Amino acid sequence: MSASASAAALAGRFGRDVLRVHESCGDTIVLVARDRAHEILAWLRDDPAQRFDYLTDVTAVDYRDPGLPLEVVYQLRSLSRKVDLRVKIPLDKQADLIVDSVVDLWRGADWLEREVYDMFGVTFTGHPDLRRILMWETYAEGYPLRKEFPLRGQFSRAEQTRQALGANPEAHYSLEELSIAEAFGDLPPEMRERLARGERGELR
């Protein structure tokens, strides 16, 4: 069954929830409604005639035209049948950007969905650990790959520099580390002094 046949089968089974089927540059693309997207993707994975067992990629597209919806894109592949299919979920940008997570179907979607959340601000309900991945967790400028985000960032250069110097993304420590830090009182006085001044690794 070719990709276009899969798309036709999908349209036959899910009717109105398959919004549009089209082809571009030889790739078959199916647009589906958000509410049944998870069900549709699960069917594509599990139906014996479809068997799209491999999730190649999850990403999103924000168009330059602000009237167009933001699209969440799933690139699927059936390893056994050697067929590719792209499934897209259009999301109205005026409403909340929420879709169901597919981590329960493909574990590989874990970091990919985190990246879409990080870069586009799409919330994936049911994701086990949805937080920023490439940007740091306290990043406050917004979602970098959205079109309204300017290339040089939302904040001024001075503010960006101030935040970058103030942020310390490597200083996430566990309780264990903090309990070790309680040994501070036992340290030699000059080391205590040096640590209190914030100097590190200075040799005398």
Partner 1 sequence: MSTRTVELDLATPGLDAAGRPSRVPLGMVDPAAMDRPGFGEEHMLINIGPQHPATHGVLRLVVELEGEVVRRVVPHIGYLHSGFEKLGEYRHYNQIIPLTDRTDYLSPMANNVGLALAAEKLMGIEVTERCQVLRVIACELSRIISHLVWLGTTGIDLGAYTPFLWSFYERERVYNLQEAWTGARLTTSLTRVGGMMADVPEGWEQGLREFCRTFPNTLREVDTMFTRNAIWCGRTQGVGTITRDDAINWSLSGPMLRASGVDYDVRKDRPYLGYDGYDFDVPIGEHGDIYDRYRVRLEEMFQSVRILEQAGDRLARLKDAPLNVDDPRVILPPKRRAMSDMEAMIFHFKQVMDGVAAPVGEAYMGIENPKGELGYYFVSDGSAKPVRWRIRPPSFINLACLPKLCEGVLLSDVIAINASVDIVMGEIDR
**What is the DSSP code (8-state) at residue 122?**
-
Nearer to partner 1 by C-beta: 16 or 196?
196
Per-residue binder mask for partner 1 (CB under 8 A), 20-39, x = binder: ----xxxx-x----------
Nearer to partner 1 by C-beta: 15 or 171?
171
- Token pair 């491999």: residue: 54
Give the N- to C-terminal CA distance of the chain in Å, as an integer: 74
Q: How, if at all, do strands 70-78 and 54-61 pair? A: antiparallel
- The answer to whether the beta carbons of residues 32 and 89 sit under 8 Å apart is yes
Per-residue binder mask for partner 1 (CB under 8 A), 82-101, x = binder: x-x-x---------------
Nearer to partner 1 by C-beta: 100 or 110?
110
- Token pair 């790739």: residue: 27
Among 9, 21, 42, 73, binds partner 1 (CB under 8 A): 73
Q: Does 108 bind partner 1 (CB under 8 A)?
A: yes
Per-residue binder mask for partner 1 (CB under 8 A), 143-172, x = binder: -xx---x-x----------------xxxxx
Nearer to partner 1 by C-beta: 35 or 46?
46
Q: Does 191 bind partner 1 (CB under 8 A)?
A: no
Nearer to partner 1 by C-beta: 15 or 150?
150
3-state secondary structure of 110: helix
Burial 174-195 (b: 16+ CB within 10 A, else e): eeeeeeeeeeeeeeeeeeeebe
